[in-house]
Amino acid sequence: MIIMNKILVVEDEKAIATLIKMNLIKAGYQCDIAYSGNEGADRLSENTYDLCLFDIMLPEINGYELLSYAKSLDIPVIFVTAKGETLDKVKGLKSGADDYITKPFEVLELLARVENVLKRFNKTDRFIKTSGLDIDTVARIVKKDGEILKLTYKEFDLLLLFARNPGTALYRETIYEHVWDSEYMGDSRTVDLHVQRLRKKAGLEKSIEAVYKIGYRFVPEDRI
């Protein structure tokens, strides 16, 4: 099952947009183009992307506004700026972009940055970094400040479920069915107890919040 990362490029200069798209596709990504801020916002609301590349100077909605929208969806953003726009560059990073690249750019540099940001946001599978934890999903090892945490089987699966669904309100039923792999019988406190244990062991007291009447939601500390 091949999962390609999906990237949205918002850039009003067609030549550059096409150049970027071609190279991204060649490198194995899926890629959509939008030629204006408005179009970009539409795409964002219609699809799920793993990464966005935004020009700052855009017709209608500008790059900064798109940025905050993308961030609200928890999608990393790389700004693509024209050479002179140094002021914008600073502003861009300050305003929360995850990287930037100046036009004209080397294709290889672009790809390297793309790959880097995707990795940082663990949009690639094996390693997940979140809330101060380093999770190796294959080795089933979790590190905090370089120290290995002794998580039990269930605790690890639970953590993984949370890490892979940040920001989502997970129903007790959903949690139970994922981690225990069997049907949920309404009233048990089992899920709650395991959440409490995980919180304590992994120092996630603040990151895993209870959603009253529903279950729990994982909000990574690096992004509150």
Partner DNA sequence: TAAAATGGATACAAAAATGATACAAAAGAG
Partner DNA sequence: CTCTTTTGTATCATTTTTGTATCCATTTTA
- Determine, following the binding rule CB under 7 A, whether residue 214 of this chain makes contact with DNA: yes
Which pairing describes strands 30-34 and 6-10: parallel, antiparallel, or unpaired? parallel
Instruction: Please state the length of the chain.
Output: 224
**Rounded to the nearest whole angstrom, what is the least distance from the CB of residue 55 to a copy of itself in the complex?**
20
Task: State both tokens at 183.
Answer: 């049907």
Residue 12's nearest CA partner among 68, 70, 60, 44 is 60
- Determine, following the binding rule CB under 7 A, whether residue 195 of this chain makes contact with DNA: yes
d(CA 76, CA 69): 11
The binding track of 37-76 with respect to DNA, each residue x by CB under 7 A or -, is: ----------------------------------------
**Rounded to the nearest whole angstrom, what is the least distance from the CB of residue 205 to DNA in the complex?**
7
Evaluate whether 37 touches 60 at the Cβ level (below 8 Å). Answer: yes
> Which one of a copy of itself, DNA, none interacts with residue 223, CB within 5 to 8 A by kind?
none
> Which one of DNA, a copy of itself, none interacts with residue 136, CB within 5 to 8 A by kind?
a copy of itself
**Rounded to the nearest whole angstrom, what is the least distance from the CB of residue 189 to a copy of itself in the complex?**
19
- Determine, following the binding rule CB under 7 A, whether residue 201 of this chain makes contact with DNA: no
| Residue number with CB closer to DNA (62 or 168) | 168
Range 137-156, binding DNA (CB under 7 A): 150, 152-155
Region binding DNA by CB under 7 A among candidate stretches 55-63, 64-72, 124-132, 207-215: 207-215
Name the site residues for a copy of itself (rule: CB under 8 A). Answer: 1, 4, 22, 25-26, 28, 30, 45, 68, 72-73, 107-108, 127, 134, 136, 138-141, 143, 146, 152-153, 167-169, 171, 173-174, 177-178, 211-214, 217
User: How many chain residues are in contact with DNA, going by CB under 7 A?
Assistant: 22
> Which one of DNA, a copy of itself, none interacts with residue 178, CB within 5 to 8 A by kind?
a copy of itself
> Which one of a copy of itself, DNA, none interacts with residue 188, CB within 5 to 8 A by kind?
DNA
